[in-house]
Structure 1
Amino acid sequence: MAEKINKVTIIGSGPAGYTAAIYAARANLQPVMFAGGPTLDDPQRVPGGQLMVTTDVENYPGFPEAITGPEMMERFQKQAERFGTVIHMENVVKVDFSKRPFFIQGESESCYSETVIIATGATAKWLGVKGEDSFKNRGVSACATCDGAFFKNQDVLVVGGGDTAMEEATYLAKIVKSVTVVHRRDSLRASKVMQERALKNPKISFLWDSAIDEVVGDNKGMSGAVVRNLKTNDTKLVPVTGLFVAIGHTPNTGLFQGVLETHQGGYLKTVPGSTRTNIPGVFACGDVQDSYYRQAITAAGTGCMAAIDAERWLIEQGE
């Protein structure tokens, strides 16, 4: 059993986790990070969050020429390590938040910690259809605000019928030539305001009672999608260069079920205006507690907040 007691332990990486590490390290809190890694469910998973499967990042301030997601996360990691963050490239498999110091069990390493910052992020839900994986970042995306600018004056599809899908469609309509929404039902689940906004937009059309069967293209990228009408079973090839999957995200909170309070969608609850959870000394930042913005810059901002919250909480405890 581990005997060393950390002042701050960060579970997860990405913009939120690494920013928390940078701030905590510069505050001389000697943070230890469990950055994550492959799992049985996701053997391709790598530390660094959703940006690790993002090609060009053009909307992060300070990078006028754009930067790839993996390169950005490499820079975040190096900066965190420069100030002394100890990083374990593995997943946490068990936590005990019932008493302080908290206990964190990784796949090979374990430790006790006075505070914990959770930055485990969220995972986009995908369709699971043929060709989807092949054309991720080559036409297939789960974030219009991240990738929409790459599709100027092009025809794209949006899959989904909730608020997220309508927000994505409306946002894309300002940039692209046309948006076609593919939805499994004949009515939308989105709020009335979001529905009206999308239905009134002349650049947005709808394929009702329909689903994507396959994404097609060549070595240059996506060129279309096979859409099936779920009532007639007829299929047709829709020529588009972009497909935005907007069927939601799953926050990576399995480790904390029944321990930390969550919203209905599974996102960790934090006290408004802070990163504090329902357990004193445990903080949450980034996409694991943010179902609304889900941007690298906002995740980094809450990572900063979490480190400052942890530092101030330790001072309040006289530590």
Structure 2
Amino acid sequence: MPDSSLHDLIIIGGGPGGYTAGIYAQRAALKTVLIEKGIPGGQLNNTDEVENWPGTEKISGADLAIQFSQHAAAYDLAVLNREVVGIEPGRNHHTILLDNGEKLTSHAVILATGGSPKKLGIPGEDQNYGRGVSYCAVCDGFFFRNKTVVVVGGGDSALEESLYLAKLAKRVYIAHRRDAFRAGMILQKRVLHEERITVLWNTVLTEIQADAQGVNGVITRNTMDGTTSALATDGVFVFIGFEPNNGLVPAGTKMNANGYVIADEKCETNTPGIFVVGDLKEKYAKQIVTAAADGCTAALAAAHYVENKKSGA
């Protein structure tokens, strides 16, 4: 008798990649469950506006996340709101360990755990998280209305969040370690024409200072001449990239030097039946649309894998 508790596919992570995989898995009639420990959409919920999702000129990240969730619900995708604490690969099936002690088994697994914001690693950062230090302007920008903030970074996220904060704060400083941004030209033009934004080129933060009320200043260093300066500020927003959430990646799975999982064109890892999508996967571009594309590819490949497994091929 077949094991009725055995899933065809378990998806870990409810971002764009995970939900797209869920939609395609349901269309392929796979017995599927998506496990997400937070709210649907993942990092999407920290994005003010999305302007590069095809077919939609502009939409908030939170609204797009809701659309992903609703689309998946229309296909009756089972979603479990729990935290996965471990994965045990097996020859016959893979076992997923949950935070409540429960175990789920599946022929195939798609890892869609994304990434987390990188930290500066300077004095005062960890101590003042939530007291003026933030990694999400959409989440915390309201608390800095008519105040002064410093944004650290020079990529798309840093500039997008700076423009969002400029709607609220009286002054936004962007501290960038180089003399040119890495962000797209449209964002660069908007930032450079925004009166409330001042760019501090060739500048890094070396310390975040605070008093009993929270952050009240930073110490900066010029990367060209080494001079240091003090800058008064009410908040520091850090957008210097992401680190892959690879804590659940099974031992023996190939990763690059930066911790991103290496997968083939089917998004399959070197562990048979374990696939990886989105920001956890080694690839050139990390965008919502590429995460969704990964989800589609991985689900179709997983469906083929499961079909062969069941037929004994």
- TM value normalised by structure 2: 0.73
* Residue of structure 1 in register with 2:116 after alignment: 123
Is 1:245–2:246 an aligned residue pair? no
Q: 1:300 to 1:225 in 2, by over 3 A?
A: farther
Note the alpha carbon deviations across 1:149-183, whole angstroms, 9 max, x for none: 6739997524456xxx95249885444218746xx
Asked if structure 1 preserves the Cα contact closer than 8 Å seen for 2:17 and 2:294, the reply is yes
Q: 1:74 to 1:117 in 2, by over 3 A?
A: same
Give the SS at the match of 2:56: coil
Q: How many pairs does the alignment contain?
A: 272
Structure 1 residue runs without a partner (length 5+): 38-45, 182-204, 216-223
The correspondence for 2:73, drawn from 70, 75, 81, is 81
RMSD across aligned C-alpha pairs, in angstroms? 3.7
Q: Identity over the aligned pairs, expressed in percent?
A: 28
Q: 1:257 to 1:265 in 2, by over 3 A?
A: farther
Q: 1:95 to 1:277 in 2, by over 3 A?
A: same
* Residue of structure 2 in register with 1:195 after alignment: none
* Residue of structure 1 in register with 2:257 after alignment: 264
* Residue of structure 2 in register with 1:167 after alignment: 182
* Residue of structure 2 in register with 1:31 after alignment: 32
Aligned AA for 1:298?
A: T
* Residue of structure 1 in register with 2:7 after alignment: 6
Q: 1:71 to 1:290 in 2, by over 3 A?
A: farther
Asked if structure 2 preserves the Cα contact closer than 8 Å seen for 1:24 and 1:308, the reply is yes
- Give the CA deviation at 1:243: 5.8
Give the SS at the match of 2:293: helix
* Residue of structure 1 in register with 2:146 after alignment: none
Aligned AA for 2:231?
A: K
Asked if structure 2 preserves the Cα contact closer than 8 Å seen for 1:35 and 1:47, the reply is yes
- TM value normalised by structure 1: 0.71
* Pairing 1:83-122 to 2, within 5 Å after superposition: 83-108=75-100, 109-122=102-115
- Give the CA deviation at 1:242: 9.7
* Pairing 1:1-319 to 2, within 5 Å after superposition: 4-37=5-38, 46-67=39-60, 69-108=61-100, 109-127=102-120, 128=125, 131-133=132-134, 136-137=137-138, 138=141, 140=151, 144-146=155-157, 148=159, 151=163, 156-160=173-177, 167-168=182-183, 172-177=187-192, 180=199, 205-207=201-203, 210-211=205-206, 213=208, 226-229=218-221, 234-237=229-232, 245-246=239-240, 248-256=241-249, 258-271=251-264, 273-290=265-282, 292-319=284-311
Asked if structure 1 preserves the Cα contact closer than 8 Å seen for 2:207 and 2:219, the reply is yes
Structure 2 residue runs without a partner (length 5+): 142-148, 211-215
